[in-house]
Amino acid sequence: MAQPTEPVVRLASVNRDTSDAGAALALVLLLMLALSVLGVGALTLARRQAVVGLVAVRVLQASLAAESGLRAAGPGWPAAADSMPVGTSESWSGSVGTTGAYQIELVRLDRELYLARARGRSVVGRARHQGAALLWRLDPRTRVSGVPAAVVHTNGLVIAQAGQVDGSGDLASQGGAWCDPTVILEVDRTVAWPPVPPSSAWRADGALMPFDPVVDSVAGPGLGLIPFDSLHAVATPLAADLSPSAVECGESSQGPCPVDGIYTLAPGTHVLTGSVRGVLVVDGNVTLGGDALIEGWVLAAGDLRVSGSVRILGVVRSRGRVEVDGAARIQGDTCAAMTVLEHDWLRTPRMLPPGTGLGPPV
């Protein structure tokens, strides 16, 4: 009897190389899918960033156009702005190369104070930007109408010997044929100010103006919002012989003074001859002697002594003591004081810094 045979079970052999290759292929496919997703995301993000960057460029162009418009409000000052009634406005437009354009609206708030509103836009796209700034432009009539006296001092006025200070009446012009009588202001003055302790503000009546006290800063008296230091920095040194042409400035039918501007003298004693018309800025104690004729403004950071036969027609402002002796004379003169303030540098519009204090007259 044959013996029963046991079933034989054969196990299929597994090819390990084939199994590893399949797993690697799956892994590669997964990695390629992940990289594709990351690539598409990166491309989408880059595209969006390019769009955002382009928008930022357009916004920057519009912002720069508005800022350029505000900066250009000074050099591009319209002639009509000086005759604008308070509360009215003027508009004009301009461009910044080929990238932006702006429109400026200038509103007159007071005789010297303006609000400039700028609207800038990019040439390409729809980006818009707005800006605003306060501008101050010296007005000769306002400056002179706010002068309380022919001599403004902070430490006393001394008149000795035959010296004279005349600030009475309306400061009618003592100048010559060159002086336009239409600028004479009918404003009464005292001889010197302050006759009482200096507690009042230096303002034109009824004006809304930046505060301008008698002594604008520790450096010395300025002109409105133009500080003493700025005036002194641009001033031209004067020689002792003020006008070699010997034309009697303000008293000759030949016309105005041969020189006209912003000048300075070093501290000390000066013997002057000739004539000069302008703003004389002195940083320190000074003595003016000789027989010179000075028309306009004298701004002294220290004590001022006028002696000899020197004549000053206009306004004197001193941070210290004013002394007039010998045969010297200070004559308050509205016309001379106003005329020299027409200087281009003085009348350049100035942008007020943030936080500038404004208020009604006191």
Q: What is the pLDDT of residues 214-259, one digit of tens each?
A: 434 457 888 888 888 889 888 888 876 665 433 344 444 344 444 4
Condensed to tens digits (0 to 9), the pLDDT of residues 3-44 reads: 666 665 554 555 555 566 677 777 878 888 888 888 888 888
Q: Are 94 and 101 in contact (CB under 8 A)?
A: yes
pLDDT of residue 177: 42
Please tell me whether residues 292 and 152 are part of one structural domain: yes
Residue 14: inside a domain, yes or no?
no
> What per-residue confidence (pLDDT) applies to 298?
93
Residue 95 within any structural domain of the chain = yes
Contact by Cβ (8 Å): 271, 196 = no
Shared-domain flag, residues 97 and 144: no
210-237 core/surface letters (b: 16 or more CB in 10 A; e: else): bebebbbeebbbbbbbbbbbbbbeebee
Structural domain containing residue 220: 140-340
Residue type, 136: W
Q: 205 in a domain, yes or no?
A: yes
Q: State the Cα–Cα distance between residues 356 and 359, nearest whole angstrom.
A: 10
Q: Are residues 191 and 301 in the same domain?
A: yes
Find all residues with CB under 8 Å of 144, minimum gap 6, and list them: 185, 315, 334, 337, 338, 341
Helix (H) or strand (E) run with residue 315 in it: strand 311-318
Tell me, rounded to whole angstroms, the distance of Cα 241 from its chain centroid: 33
What does the pLDDT look like over 81-136, one tens digit per residue?
Answer: 888 888 898 888 888 878 888 888 889 988 888 888 888 888 777 778 888 888 88
Task: Give domain status of residue 210, yes or no.
Answer: yes
Least confident of 118-122, 199-203, 336-340: 199-203
pLDDT digits (tens, 9 = 90+) for 265-317: 888 898 888 888 889 999 889 999 988 888 889 999 989 999 999 999 888 99
Is pLDDT larger for residue 332 or for residue 208?
A: 332
Number of domains in the chain: 2
Distance CA 233, CA 220 (A): 13
Judgement on whether residues 87 and 154 belong to the same structural domain of the protein? no
The answer to whether the predicted template modeling score (pTM) of the entire model surpasses 0.85 is no
Q: Which residues contact 335 (CB under 8 A, 6 or more apart)?
A: 173, 175, 179, 180, 181, 183, 184
Q: Is the pLDDT of residue 176 over 50?
A: no
Looking at residue 51, what DSSP letter applies? H
Is the dihedral angle over the CA atoms 145, 147, 148, 150 positive or is it negative? negative
DSSP H or E segment with residue 128? strand 128-136
Q: How many CA atoms lie within 13 A of 203 on its CB side?
A: 16
Cβ contact 164:150 at 8 Å: no
At 168, the pLDDT band (50, 70, 90 cuts) reads low
Q: Is residue 323 part of a domain?
A: yes
pLDDT exceeds cutoff 80 at 344? yes
Residue 126: the pLDDT is 75
Q: What is the pLDDT of residue 358?
A: 55
